[in-house]
A and B are shown apart, each in its own frame.
Chain A
């Protein structure tokens, strides 16, 4: 229709047609009068409705026919009921096969779950309206909620829904009583399967796909053209030998093995398990003395060092001593630009150019001529990633040279000596319960942000750009 309420987001094809077809063949065999499951009659007051089967008969027949044991037969039988090919007469909400004398009946093929007949909300709305008529307003709670929902969202079609529900109800009343009972049972069972009550596991819950996987795509010229392009592109992709990639994976795992909270125990204790947040407090960004594990992690790669705020602070201290802080400053400025707001892009670009890139700038970075040319040209029309090439170059410089010097430096070695090794906690059960009771809420994110802002301002005030000329003056004066 014009505006289909496509709450399944346009994905109509469910990849179950194959197995559903096999189920259908099985069900057809099951109800065969000669070789199928034996049927009895259901007695209701004066009438008796035929074609009722018991749970244990179903299971016995399945086990016999498919040569399975009882457990598998039970699973298959439950699947048949869950998909709606057979419905229970007692306890209609539990879609399982009970291995006793409880009654089941076969569902009419009109109500079979078939892929191409999409179950529509309008049909469900008509069913709910019919049920409302029949039960005079005493629907179940979830049905009432859905009914109200439909009245609100399907309002333009509501008149049609009510009209159709009334007509179907009247048409059904024309039938004989036994047939009416059977049809009502069938319909109810169908909707329990297709629109299950809340918190119920439904067999129909499944990924819906955009393309019907059963129908193969028509082999047109366009299809082949697209396939050829795709295959050519995949040939051109750079490939890595599996020995190389596996070697990298093994190396990664051996380095990080002891730092993974799943594989090695957290020191002092994992807060999620023991409700004790010493671990988080020891590893906060603004802590004075970091833990040994943290310091060890900094030595893995420059990326780890820079990502950890405490590590970055330490690296800055080292660089200040070496008077080569402009690389890191430039890298940080480029990061700020990448993550910054679009409005400030032009200003930031100007500031960075004046500070780092212009010839004779106070913190001039030493990058090769080609990258410098590209960056300066790009800065005429600044965008978020205009400093990307220069940033990568600077990062590589730091990684190949400064990082190793840092790891051998006294700054780092001091830090290693100072670092804490917290003792692992050993809580008894009573203490664990006490911890759980004493859980306090975490810091308000606003407070954390305010603290970070204050620290940033203090850091900016403290780290004036180290001007070579000033230091020279100082030295001269001496």
Chain B
């Protein structure tokens, strides 16, 4: 009787951990998305010391989340033997976590080289920032700041600076690949294709598409090629004949 109760308790504890990991994965996804959106304005006229500090804060949040999630997933995977019910779910989370980390790693690298390309140490460096037409604002950073880790983080280390974070993330990814043997192709997605379009509330975005179409100069629509040149047979894009 006691053993049965204990195993039920174990099961419940494990399920709690698994849901925690899922929430952490969602939070990591949110944070990396915000990071990507903000990194896209690095080097543009909205770049500045403020943007870079915000990026550093977001990086720190992401660091906290993924180190914790990594620890928990590793313990879960090493505890559970092959064939238990939750194992598939944990493997799925593992694969998604891996892809998330890789994408984040790419963004970190891009951010690193962009920050080197456009150093803001001197006043005149601001002239080199590309004028892209955006006006900046820290709404995205505010969104990222609302992300919380689903567990109580006690006594975790401080976030390292960008280069160290990149190299540590490299090492982490390597270690992840070597330590646990989860083949990627065994995971199946739970989402059908084309479904995500229906779920999101899309408001006033028809006008956004129209906004993006600046008034097109009326062109002769009878040309088959991309330009009026008689020898041009290309569909579109690059034609050096004009």
Asked if A pairs with B, the answer is yes
The reply on A370 being an interface residue by CB < 8 A is no
0/1 interface trace, chain A 55-85, chain B, CB 8 Å (1 if under): 0000000000000000000110010001000
Given known pairs A32-B127, A78-B238, A96-B238, the reply for A166 and B200 (CB within 8 Å) is yes
Contact, CB under 8 Å: A2 / B184: yes
A170 to B110, CA, bound (A): 22
0/1 interface trace, chain A 156-168, chain B, CB 8 Å (1 if under): 1111111111111
- A57 shortest CB reach to chain B, Å: 14
A158 to B217, CA, bound (A): 40
Given known pairs A95-B237, A136-B197, A178-B134, the reply for A160 and B96 (CB within 8 Å) is yes
A74 to B227, CA, bound (A): 14
Given known pairs A51-B45, A183-B134, the reply for A159 and B190 (CB within 8 Å) is yes
When C-beta atoms are compared, the residue in chain A nearest to B234 turns out to be A201
- B204 shortest CB reach to chain A, Å: 9
Contact, CB under 8 Å: B43 / A91: no
Contact, CB under 8 Å: B226 / A94: yes
Contact, CB under 8 Å: B239 / A96: yes
Specify which of B37, B98, B133 lies most central, judged by the most chain A CB atoms within 10 Å of its CB: B133
The reply on B140 being an interface residue by CB < 8 A is yes
Contact, CB under 8 Å: B113 / A90: no
When C-beta atoms are compared, the residue in chain A nearest to B98 turns out to be A1
Contact, CB under 8 Å: B235 / A156: no
Find residues 25-56 in chain B having any chain A CB closer than 8 Å to their own CB. 25-26, 29-30, 32-34, 36-37, 39-45
The reply on B102 being an interface residue by CB < 8 A is yes
Contact, CB under 8 Å: A201 / B133: no
The reply on B128 being an interface residue by CB < 8 A is yes
* A165: contacting residue among B110, B196, B235, CB under 8 A: B196
The reply on B188 being an interface residue by CB < 8 A is yes
When C-beta atoms are compared, the residue in chain B nearest to A203 turns out to be B238
The reply on B212 being an interface residue by CB < 8 A is yes
Given known pairs A44-B211, A110-B42, A133-B197, the reply for A182 and B132 (CB within 8 Å) is yes
A468 to B237, CA, bound (A): 77
With an 8 Å Cβ cutoff, the count of chain B residues facing the other chain is: 84
The reply on A356 being an interface residue by CB < 8 A is no
Contact, CB under 8 Å: B237 / A167: no
The reply on B122 being an interface residue by CB < 8 A is no
- B9 shortest CB reach to chain A, Å: 30
Contact, CB under 8 Å: A93 / B236: yes
Q: Which residues does chain A contribute within 8 Å of B139, judged by CB atoms?
A: 174-176
When C-beta atoms are compared, the residue in chain B nearest to A152 turns out to be B193
A164 to B238, CA, bound (A): 32
The reply on B168 being an interface residue by CB < 8 A is no
Q: Which residues does chain B contribute within 8 Å of A109, judged by CB atoms?
A: 42-44, 114, 117-118, 130
When C-beta atoms are compared, the residue in chain B nearest to A34 turns out to be B127
The reply on A134 being an interface residue by CB < 8 A is yes
Q: Which residues does chain A contribute within 8 Å of B184, judged by CB atoms?
A: 1-3, 156-157
A111-119, A297-305, A343-351: which one contacts chain B?
A: A111-119
Q: Which residues does chain A contribute within 8 Å of B219, judged by CB atoms?
A: 91
A299 to B34, CA, bound (A): 78
The reply on B83 being an interface residue by CB < 8 A is no
- B98 shortest CB reach to chain A, Å: 7
Contact, CB under 8 Å: B142 / A174: yes
A103 to B219, CA, bound (A): 15
Q: Which residues does chain B contribute within 8 Å of A103, judged by CB atoms?
A: 214
Contact, CB under 8 Å: A52 / B133: yes
The reply on A132 being an interface residue by CB < 8 A is yes
When C-beta atoms are compared, the residue in chain B nearest to A1 turns out to be B102
The reply on A28 being an interface residue by CB < 8 A is yes
Chain A, interface residues (CB within 8 Å), range:
35 or more
The reply on A155 being an interface residue by CB < 8 A is yes
* B33: contacting residue among A31, A164, A199, CB under 8 A: A164
* A200: contacting residue among B44, B118, B136, B236, CB under 8 A: B236
A342 to B130, CA, bound (A): 67
Given known pairs A147-B193, A176-B135, A199-B235, the reply for A171 and B40 (CB within 8 Å) is no
The reply on A181 being an interface residue by CB < 8 A is yes
When C-beta atoms are compared, the residue in chain A nearest to B43 turns out to be A109
Q: Which residues does chain A contribute within 8 Å of B92, judged by CB atoms?
A: 159
Contact, CB under 8 Å: B202 / A133: yes
The reply on B208 being an interface residue by CB < 8 A is yes
* A106: contacting residue among B102, B132, B190, B237, CB under 8 A: B132
- B174 shortest CB reach to chain A, Å: 11
Contact, CB under 8 Å: A136 / B234: no
Q: Which residues does chain A contribute within 8 Å of B152, judged by CB atoms?
A: none
Given known pairs A102-B217, A156-B187, A167-B29, the reply for A197 and B236 (CB within 8 Å) is yes
The reply on B198 being an interface residue by CB < 8 A is yes
Q: Which residues does chain B contribute within 8 Å of A96, judged by CB atoms?
A: 226-227, 238-239, 242
The reply on A120 being an interface residue by CB < 8 A is yes
Q: Which residues does chain A contribute within 8 Å of B211, judged by CB atoms?
A: 44-45, 181
Find residues 209-231 in chain B having any chain A CB closer than 8 Å to their own CB. 209, 211-217, 219, 226-227
Contact, CB under 8 Å: A169 / B237: no
Contact, CB under 8 Å: B196 / A162: yes
- A91 shortest CB reach to chain B, Å: 6
The reply on A15 being an interface residue by CB < 8 A is no
Q: Which residues does chain A contribute within 8 Å of B102, judged by CB atoms?
A: 1, 122
Contact, CB under 8 Å: B185 / A136: no
- A22 shortest CB reach to chain B, Å: 14
- A89 shortest CB reach to chain B, Å: 5
The reply on A179 being an interface residue by CB < 8 A is yes
- B235 shortest CB reach to chain A, Å: 4
Find residues 133-175 in chain B having any chain A CB closer than 8 Å to their own CB. 133-137, 139-140, 142-144
A212 to B236, CA, bound (A): 31
Q: Which residues does chain B contribute within 8 Å of A95, judged by CB atoms?
A: 237-238
Find residues 111-149 in chain A having any chain B CB closer than 8 Å to their own CB. 111, 114, 116-117, 120, 122-123, 126, 129, 132-137, 147-148
Contact, CB under 8 Å: B217 / A51: no
A-B contacts, 20 of them at CB < 8 A, read A3-B185, A27-B130, A39-B131, A50-B131, A95-B237, A106-B132, A108-B43, A109-B118, A134-B208, A156-B187, A157-B189, A159-B96, A163-B96, A164-B32, A172-B37, A172-B140, A179-B135, A181-B211, A184-B212, A197-B237
Using a CB–CB distance below 8 Å, which chain A residues touch chain B? 1-3, 27-28, 31-33, 39, 42, 44-45, 49-52, 74-75, 78, 82, 89-91, 93-96, 100, 102-103, 105-111, 114, 116-117, 120, 122-123, 126, 129, 132-137, 147-148, 151, 155-172, 174-186, 188, 192, 196-203
A-B complex: 5 closest residue pairs judged by Cβ atoms: A109-B43, A167-B33, A158-B189, A200-B237, A174-B139
